[in-house]
Amino acid sequence: MSRLENKVAFITGGSRGMGAAIALKLAKDGADIAITYTSAASKADETVKAIEKLGRRAIAFQADNLDARAVEAAVNETHARFGRLDILVNNAGVYSMDTVDALALEEFDRVMSIHVRASFVASKAAAALMGTGGRIITIGSNLAEIVPFPGLIAYSTSKAALTGLTANIVQPGSTDTDMNPADGDHADGQRARMAIPRFGQASDIAGLVAFLAGEEGRFITGASLMIDGGANA
């Protein structure tokens, strides 16, 4: 039997990047998968089809993290369609960069809502549906603890807030995604801070999430797990 056989996982922002990698990894481990997306319908469809090729059930919901009712409805509909809910991964996120003097209040509120408020909404809805042994895992950032350059006040504040909100939080460092590509303008500076001087892969993050979601992670709770190539070490 696969590690997550008969389990159901719900992943916000699962159409691409880390979210898609997490969805595929949990599906490979045996779980049926629900994902949300904001606008990338074609990417969400690709992820669903890739999961179905693995022999698992999959569904995608259009649910912007700014819309609390849509997020809550997607969680509830997942339970209704699949008959259970075992794993929640709060993954959906945005990047925002501005110094405090230039940062608009509306942008600060937007980032906090997408990262923190939506994670609370999804966690509250999922916890009401999960049985014993359910897992809530949130994707944070190593920038929640150490911010090596200016302009990340909204992003880092929101990620720091998540450490106090969630049962288990995974804190990635520089990871090769559309949001922060390994060949980007600031990539060399990031690698210079790392003990392992290369960007992580989305599959690295997915592997840690799968560990927490599986039987091996059953005694881990209230943990903040850094996976950043030693950047914060």
Q: Which of 139, 144, 145, 148 is nearest to 204 (CA)?
A: 139
Residues forming beta bridges with residue 226, ordered by sequence position? 171
| 37, 155, 199, 211: the active-site residue | 155
Sheet holding 135-139, edge to edge: 58-62, 32-37, 8-11, 87-90, 135-139, 168-172, 223-227
Q: Which of 119, 41, 34, 124 is nearest to 78 (CA)?
A: 34
Half-sphere exposure of 109 (CA within 13 A, CB side): 3
Residues forming beta bridges with residue 10, ordered by sequence position? 34, 88
Residue owning tokens 């895992």: 137
Q: How many residues appear in the chain?
A: 233
Contact 78, 10 (CB under 8 A): yes
Half-sphere exposure of 125 (CA within 13 A, CB side): 23
User: Cβ atoms within 10 A of the Cβ of 219, count?
Assistant: 5
**Is 95 marked active-site?**
no
Q: Dmax over Cα atoms in the chain, in whole Å?
A: 55
Q: Give the residue numbers annotated as catalytic, written as ranges.
A: 155
